[in-house]
Amino acid sequence: MTQNQDNTRSIYIDRNGVNLHALDWGGSGPPIFLIHGSRRTAQSWNAVSRRIRSQFRVVALDMLGHGKSDAPKTGYMTKDKASDTEFMIKQIIGDQNHYLMAHSLGAASTGLYAAKNSERVLGMILIEPVMQGPEHYVRVGILDDQLNEIQGRGRRNTWNNLEELKKRLMTNSMTKVWTKEALKDVLELETLIHKDGKAEAMWHLNSYNIDEMQKDEFSLIEEASHIDVPVSIMVAGGNSILESHLIPFSEALLDANLTVYENLGHAIYMEDPDLVAKETIKMINKE
């Protein structure tokens, strides 16, 4: 276990020889587990974690291939991530009841986890959840309609130096809207600087597994009837699957509230951590 300036500690969990990492913010309230999406890490939740640690025991997970967790060649399907989530939570808090908050593909695996473990989940916030695979990988242009890889759409995780990465983040339409606090965390805590000065994002190329994407079949709508917990769904106004997937999912859940934020993008929690923290604390006050 290690500590840093935010007074967090690292927890390393061995799962059949694979190390998984969690960032524990402490706190005396009920546990809440934060699960990131693709190409982010536990550190992406820092801005939110700082704002809610007075109300919860906050634990952010590094999913396989991201952050300080190991990056084997396989194990990145949504059902695998749900299984890893279950294993990590069990190791950290045993059978204690807890809250969940997750983003994007992390929200997909968290939804599967909640469907299997509803009796232990007190409430859940899903931010811009991915609803169905492998359809998702087709919609975002990784796979074509026949589930073949679209060439040239690979993922870059290394830049010549930190300034080049910073410039990329500050000009990209999806990342330039992050707060200065979130951007600072990404550059300082989600990036490795090598001896030659190159900056590497802390997600491994192994996690970009085309073979697994092609067979990553899941549907949160089909699982909705098994998710017997209060669910708050936070959605950006431009979400293309709002009508086709997210509203039907919300309506199929036993206890759900869906809110659309017109002026926010995909990474709502990195664009407006105050809003997300407020919604999270509101969840505990409903109990």
In this structure, are 261 and 168 located in the same domain? Answer: no
In a domain, 2, yes or no: no
pTM of the model: 0.96
Q: What is the mean pLDDT of residues 107-121?
A: 98
3 pLDDT higher than 60: no
In a domain, 216, yes or no: yes
284 pLDDT higher than 90: no
Q: How many CB atoms neighbour CB 27 within 10 A?
A: 17
1 pLDDT higher than 70: no
Domains in the chain, number: 2
- Among 202, 236, 262, identify where a domain stops: 202
In a domain, 279, yes or no: yes
pLDDT value of residue 165: 97
In this structure, are 172 and 189 located in the same domain? Answer: yes
In this structure, are 138 and 266 located in the same domain? Answer: yes
Among the listed residues 113, 79, 74, the one whose alpha carbon sits nearest the alpha carbon of residue 204: 74
Q: What does the DSSP assignment read for the chain? A: --B-TT--EEEEEEETTEEEEEEEEE-SS-EEEEE--TT--GGGGHHHHHHHTTTSEEEEEE-TTBTTS---SS--SHHHHHHHHHHHHHHHHTT--EEEEEEHHHHHHHHHHHHH-GGGEEEEEEES---EETHHHHHTTSB-TTS-B-TT-----EESSHHHHHHHHHHSTTTTTS-HHHHHHHHHHSEEE-TTS-EEESB-GGGS-HHHHHT--EEHHHHGGG--S-EEEEEETT-TTIIIIIHHHHHHSSSEEEEEETT--S-HHHH-HHHHHHHHHHHHHT-
CATH number, domain containing residue 17: 3.40.50.1820
Domain, as residue range, for 197: 158-202
* pLDDT tens-digit series, residues 224-276: 999 999 999 999 999 999 999 999 999 999 999 999 999 999 999 999 999 99
In this structure, are 45 and 176 located in the same domain? Answer: no
In this structure, are 197 and 252 located in the same domain? Answer: no
The residue ranking higher by pLDDT, 153 or 121, is: 121
The pLDDT confidence band at residue 287, using thresholds 50, 70 and 90, is: low
* pLDDT tens-digit series, residues 196-207: 999 999 999 999
In a domain, 1, yes or no: no
How many angstroms separate the first and last alpha carbons of the chain? Answer: 33
Contact 55, 29 (CB under 8 A): yes
In this structure, are 54 and 185 located in the same domain? Answer: no
Phi and psi (nearest 5°) for 276?
Answer: -65, -40
On average, the pLDDT of the chain sits at 95
In this structure, are 36 and 177 located in the same domain? Answer: no
pLDDT value of residue 5: 75
pLDDT value of residue 156: 85
In this structure, are 113 and 92 located in the same domain? Answer: yes
pLDDT value of residue 197: 97
In this structure, are 105 and 126 located in the same domain? Answer: yes
In this structure, are 221 and 192 located in the same domain? Answer: no
Contact 240, 232 (CB under 8 A): no
In a domain, 3, yes or no: no
In this structure, are 122 and 187 located in the same domain? Answer: no
Q: What is the mean pLDDT of residues 82-103?
A: 98
In this structure, are 249 and 115 located in the same domain? Answer: yes
* pLDDT tens-digit series, residues 127-166: 999 999 999 999 999 999 999 999 876 678 999 999 999 9
pLDDT value of residue 132: 97
